[in-house]
Amino acid sequence: MIKKLMISSVIFIVLCLIIIVALIIAIVKSYNKNTTEDMTLIKPTHAVPIVTETHGVTRVNGHVIVNKQYSLPPSYQPKENKYARKQLDKLLIRAQKNNMDLNYVSGYRSYEDQKRVVKTFEKEDGKMTAEQYTAKPGHSEHQTGLAFDVGTNKPMKDFHKDFQKSKEARWLARNASDYGFIIRYPKGQSSQTGYAYEAWHIRYVGQTLAKSIANDQTNLESYYELNQR
- Cα(122)–Cα(125) distance, rounded to whole angstroms? 5
Task: Find the radius of gyration of the CA atoms of the chain.
Answer: 22
Is-catalytic flag, 221?
Answer: no
With b meaning 16 or more CB within 10 Å and e meaning fewer, what string describes 60-73? bbbbbbbbeebbbe
Instruction: List the strands of the sheet with 181-185, edge to edge.
Output: 103-106, 147-151, 198-204, 181-185
Q: Of 217, 218, 215, 213, which is closest to residue 41 (Cα–Cα)?
A: 213
With a CB cutoff of 8 Å and minimum separation 6, the contacts of 91 are 175, 176, 178, 179, 181
Burial class for 201, CB neighbours closer than 10 Å (0-12, 13-18, 19+): buried
Q: Which of 141, 168, 198, 221 is catalytic?
A: 198
Catalytic residues: 198
